[in-house]
Structure formats: structure tokens, C-alpha cells
A and B are shown apart, each in its own frame.
Chain A
Amino acid sequence: MTRNTRGMTVLRVFLAAVPCFMLSFAVALVNRDQPRIFGLPFIMAWIVLWVALTPIFLFAVERLRPKA
């Protein structure tokens, strides 16, 4: 079975783009103090969450990398 490497690249870039989007543009949309999450302002909790999730997305991107 042949691998669609072009499609794979698109998928990997998309996966990597998700946390980037969440940490940049999306912040403008979740820009609020309330509700507090574990005492943290909502916007801060959001950013912290996505920083913590980034390695997981990158691991997925790495697993999907076509090994020549």
C-alpha cells in the first residue's frame, strides 16, 4: 500500500497549526477573566492548557512523519 505523502504533510501541518491557532488568534476570542479555572483567570487557564497540549500534538505529528 502506497502512502499519500502529500496528504500526510497536510495533515501534519494541520495538526501542528491547531495549538498555534489556539495560542494566538483563539485567545482573542476567549479573552475573559471569568469563569475562573482552578483559581486562574479563564484566558490564562486556556493558554496554559494549550501549552501543555502542544507536546501531545507534536508527538502525533512526529509519529505521522513518513520515515524514508
Chain B
Amino acid sequence: MKPEFTALTIVAIVVFGTIAFAVTAVRRFRMDPHEYIVGSRSFGALLLWILLAGEIYTSFTFLGAAGWAYGKGAPSFYILAYGTIAYTIGYFYLPSIWRIGKERGLLTWPDLLIDRYGSRALGVAVAILQFLTTVPYVTLQLTGLQILLTIAGYGRYNATIAVSAAFILIALFVFTTGLRGAAWASVVKDSLVLLAVLFAGIYLPLHFFGSAGAMFARVTEHHPHWLSLAPATSNYGTVWYVSTVLLTSVGFFMGPANAQSIYSAKSEQTVRRNMMLMPLYQLIIIFILLAGFTALAVIPGLKGTQADQSFVLLLQRYFPSWLLGLVAGAGCLAALLPASVLLLGAASIFSKNVLTDWFGVATTDRSRLLWTRTLVLICAVLALVLWIFAKTSLVDLLLFYYNGITQLAPGILLALVWRRVSAWAVGSGLLAGELIAVYSLHRSVGPWGINPGFIALTVNLAVCVCVTLLFPRRELFIKTPVPEM
């Protein structure tokens, strides 16, 4: 039997099987916007953990992390650190955000901003921004899918067609099951990804070199400075590392789907428990990094964006096709599911905050649901179009996404602690930050080695603070007091 047939059949079984499982699991729930978007706020700690973990472990973690280990070396360690810091600071501010969300019936980040700052214009602007930044993120997952299917097909099939089909499938999946379906599908996905990653990180170094130590020894033979950061202000040096870790940990929960996930929790304590335990899940990233380094030691010579393929290419060349199929299947789920959750997030935000709140359409539960589903498809198609026309690297896409969404952080975090901040302050800060983020689109390293998104965030915060000090909000719009930490 031809290897590509085996591999792709297994991928299909994995993907379709998961979808069938998830659709069955949610059959008994009635789909209204509250169920569809935030799972009726009833997810206990375990289901929430699965959802959060599922959202966070995506194509970037699966392929991109190994790709960075292969292509950059030590800078890839930031991936271990930033999530951990994000959970630590999230432990402090997310429970308060949950509580406000519950009290005020909030579903999205723009909802929170409108509630705290009283400006519909700000809410609409942020809603549009979140919808737009979702597109490159989804394209990122699509690119991951394309890589996996091409390699599982041993280069024999037109990946473009395969990706389009798979993608439409997942859009329909979200379309019918909402957030709870995605959480259940994540159960399957996380189990498979965990197995795949453990196999990759533990077995691969052992198989080729006898131990991780021996593998690293081989890496440094050919690349003596690979495993420590370049000094200070050089490209991807220590300054870059610190600024990037701070930037991405602050922006970690600011994405369109994250508000929904937090608000799906049953209680504040559920959120806290998750934050305490999630760092343990970060440890899995060690194994994917080990896989990337092993790939470097075994098949050096892949250049540029090809580095993203390194780990699966290693499997294709040295291991049987069924194994490749299983790992590729896991990777496909890792791409498809977060893409779905994000599509859902972006669509719900646009539907609620732009269409309903601003244009006054989609006011009944039923029409809102219909609009949300339509927007899922629209966003999905936009992402597909972007994929077809703009073939950039995984990293460029992710950086654009992160630089864009992190700019929300000052507005959201200050809302918890400082009553004088006005919508104008947040808006000006946001504008300044986004302008810088867009300007530095093609540079991953800014002046003095600082991450440009970090510069944008700092400027954003500075502008926001200055405007607040010069023009503090004169009257408190909101009667609900700001909660304690």
C-alpha cells in the first residue's frame, strides 16, 4: 500500500472521528447564544482546563515551536516561559474579569470595554480590530494544516485543495456545535497531541543519539552558539527575549476567543484553579523543542520557512507511514480546533458588538445565532483567501496577531484598578499602539534588540496614562464598584 494512502487515511479517521464524537457529545444542549458562545457559563475546572489547554496548544506549538528550535535555537525557549508568566498574572486579574462578566452579562472583550468606559465607539472599534486580527491567526493554522497534509501525502497531492476542504469542514463543525463541541473535541485532540509530543521528545533523541545530552552535543558540534541567547541587543538576544516574554505574557488572554473561554467558567475559583495548574501543561513544550533540536541534528540544511516542517519531515523520512498519519492527525486537530474556537470568538464579537449594538440588527436570540454562524463562514473565507494570496511564514503571522491583540491589555487591565481612565485615553493608547504594531509588521526585532510589539505596548500604556492624567474621567459611568483582587 502506498505510504501516502496509509498516512492520509489515518489522518482522515482521526479528524472525522473527533468531529463525530464532539457532535454526539453536545446533542442534548439547546443552542442559544449563551450556550453557543460561553457554554452557558457552566464549565467546571476540568472542562475549562481542557478548553484552555486546547486553545493554547495549536499549530504554532506543534510545528512552529519545533521549527524555531530548528531554525533559531535558544530564542525558542521563550515559548516555555511566556505562557507560564501569563498564567501567573492571570491568576490575579482573570477572576475579577470573570466576576464582572457574570454580574454584567458580558460575553466579549468589547462588552467589557463598553461596560467600563461607556463608549460604544470604542467597543465597535475593538470589535472590528479583533475580527481583523483573527484572520492571520486562522491563516496560521491553515498553513500548519497545509504543511501536515503535504508531508503526509508524501508530496503527491495538491495540498491547496485538501486544505480548503478540511477548512470548510471545521467551519461547519463550529457552525453546528459551538463552544462546548470544541471543548469535547479538544479532549481527543489533547490526548493525541500529548502522545505525539511525548513520543517525539522522548523517543526521537533516544532513537538517533541514545540520549538528549548526546543529541545536544551533536547540535553544538555544528552550531556552537545555538543553545544560548545572543548577547544583549543583538538580533534575538537577551533584550529580545525579555521584551518578547513580557509582551506575549501580557497579551496572552487578549484575543477574541479568550474572553469567551474565561466567561464559560462556572466560578471565580474555577478560573483560579486553572491558572495554578496550567504551567504544568507548559512542560510539554520541552518535548516539542527536543524534537526540533533532534531534527536539526539529523536533517540539517532546511532553510527559512522550511524549518517549520522539520519535525514531521523527520518522521516522514525515517518512520513508518502509519506513525506519520497518527502524528499528522494530531497536528491537524491542533490546527483545526483553535481555528474554530477563534472563528467563533471573532464572529460572536462582530455579531454582538457591531451588528446588534451598533446597527441594531440581529436582536433576537435566533437571528443573532444565525448571524454569528454566517460571520464564522465569512471570517473563514477571508482567512482562506489570505492563505491563498499571501504565503508568509508561521512566525510572521503569529507575531502580527500577538502585536495586534496585546494592545488591548492597557484598556482591559486598567479598567480593573483605575477609575479615572476614560474611553479617550484607552482609544488614543490603542491607536498609538496599533500604528506602531502595523508599522513594524515585517521586523521581528526592533531598535536595541527590543521586540517591536513591546515598544508598541509601552507607548500605548504611556499615552493612555498621560491622557488620563491630563483629562481624567469626571464622573463615574459605572455604578458597580471595581472588584478587589
- Name A's B-contacting residues (CB within 8 A): 9, 13, 16, 19-20, 23-25, 27-28, 31-33, 36, 38-44, 47-48, 50-52, 54-55, 57-59, 61-62
Contacts and interface: CB of A to CB of B under 8 A. Distances in A.
B242 A28 contact: yes
A51 B211 CA distance: 22
A62 B239 CA distance: 32
Interface in B203-228: 211-216, 220, 225, 227-228
Residue from A9, A19, A31 whose CB has the most chain B CB atoms within 10 Å: A31
B246 interface: yes
A16 B88 contact: yes
Contacts of B231: 31
Chain A contact surface mostly = helix
B371 interface: no
A24 B276 contact: no
B388 interface: no
25 contacts: A16-B88, A16-B91, A16-B92, A23-B245, A28-B239, A28-B242, A31-B74, A38-B213, A39-B213, A39-B214, A39-B215, A40-B213, A41-B216, A42-B228, A43-B227, A43-B229, A44-B77, A47-B80, A48-B80, A51-B282, A55-B276, A55-B277, A58-B276, A62-B91, A62-B272
B234 to A, nearest CB: 12
B216 A51 contact: no
Contact of B228 (A16, A23, A32, A54): A32
Nearest to B230: A31
A64 B227 CA distance: 38
B88 A43 contact: no
Contacts of B213: 36, 38-40
B284 to A, nearest CB: 10
Nearest to B226: A33
A29 B92 CA distance: 27
B167 interface: no
B289 to A, nearest CB: 8
A55 B81 contact: no
Q: How large is the interface on B (under 10, 10 to 19, 20 to 34, 35 or more residues)?
A: 35 or more
Chain B contact surface mostly = helix
Given A38-B213, A40-B212, A40-B216, A51 B80 contact: yes
Contact of B276 (A9, A48, A59): A59
Residue from B88, B89, B286 whose CB has the most chain A CB atoms within 10 Å: B88
B214 A27 contact: no
B84 A19 contact: yes
Given A47-B81, A54-B279, A62-B276, A33 B88 contact: no
A31 B88 contact: no
Interface string B254-294: 00000000000000000010011101101100100100000
B469 interface: no
Contact of A55 (B229, B279, B289): B279
B74 to A, nearest CB: 6
A52 B284 CA distance: 11
Contacts of A31: 74, 228-229, 231, 238
Given A24-B242, A31-B228, A36 B216 contact: yes
B296 to A, nearest CB: 13
A56 to B, nearest CB: 9
B216 A39 contact: yes
Nearest to A59: B276
B85 A23 contact: yes
B302 interface: no
B485 interface: yes
Contacts of B242: 24-25, 27-28
Contacts of B87: 54, 58
Nearest to A22: B81
A24 B229 contact: no
Contacts of A33: 220, 225, 227-228
A44 B245 contact: no
B241 interface: yes
A43 B212 CA distance: 15
Given A25-B242, A36-B216, A57-B88, 15 more contacts: A13-B92, A16-B89, A20-B89, A23-B245, A27-B238, A39-B211, A40-B216, A47-B77, A50-B81, A51-B283, A52-B279, A58-B87, A58-B91, A58-B276, A62-B91
